[in-house]
Amino acid sequence: MPHYFSDLQNALSTYLDNKKIAVIHKAYQLAEQAHKGQHRRSGDPYITHPIAVASILCQMQMDYESIAAAILHDVTEDTTIQNIQIIEEFGTEIAELVEGVSKLTHIPFESQAQAQAENFRKMTLAMVRDIRVILIKLADRLHNMRTLSAMPLDKKQRIARETLEIYAPIAARLGIHSLSIELEDLCFITLYPTRYRIIKEVIHKMNQARKQTIGHIETQIKNLFEQNELPPCAVWHQQPHLYAIYQKMKKEQLRFGEMIIGLDFCI
């Protein structure tokens, strides 16, 4: 069994029983055979992509049908496997998830106008009978964004713009904020690499300068809990992610020279 399925299997075993994992492994065996000889632009075997998509869903502790469909999501598009075979071997539920992802993939997105992007998002959500189709598609898009470097520049920018206008807002609307944030930051570094680098450097310097102050505040909060005989507490702080900071700067029309002021207000 190749190591990349073994890693997924170990993760799945933390919340799924062996019978359900066996269905996912069967899906993997079919996908591996179907995608045999196919490679991604990076040179990696194509099977690594559906496994990565399944792993993202596994981190969300999705059900076994979704994980199996994620592994199979490209077989009817890129191989000789037909949907009828998916139905026969895995049942209609998994087959419908695979078909739903395929339909989403075929929706053309041409315009960059925000109003039309909003209509596209509404259409995307309306046409999906099972919300799990959207989750699989979001995981698919996340892995594609993580591995975008092998693409030509124009294609990288097109995919990033589409992701920023369509998929990141859908993830946010569904309340999957960690996924939405990662998509936005990956798009930001693709579309505006210099701005991304500058903001990241400033944030790093500010965090270093504030480390002692933040530590002092955490200590004071914990001491107050202890003095008032309250249970021990965990204290954490959060700052806006890089794309959110950039958006705030644009909205308030801050120049890069005014970045410190803008970030002091954000954090």
Torsion of CA 5, 1, 16, 179, to 10 degrees: 0
Phi, psi torsion values for 210, nearest 5 degrees = -95, -5
Q: Which residues, 6 or more positions from 48, have their beta carbon under 8 angstroms from its beta carbon?
A: 4, 40
Torsion of CA 176, 177, 179, 181, to 10 degrees: 160
Torsion of CA 151, 11, 137, 71, to 10 degrees: 80
77 is annotated as an active-site residue: yes
Q: Which residues, 6 or more positions from 242, have their beta carbon under 8 angstroms from its beta carbon?
A: 185, 188, 196, 199, 200, 203
Catalytic pick among 7, 17, 78, 118: 78
Catalytic pick among 17, 77, 118, 201: 77
Alpha-carbon distance of 77 to 245, in angstroms, equals: 39
Q: Which of 19, 124, 30 is nearest to 79 (CA)?
A: 30
How far apart, in Å, are the Cα atoms of 146 and each of 58, 106, 149, 150, 247? 17, 21, 8, 10, 21
Instruction: Give the side-chain half-sphere CA count within 13 A for 239.
Output: 20
Catalytic positions are 77-78
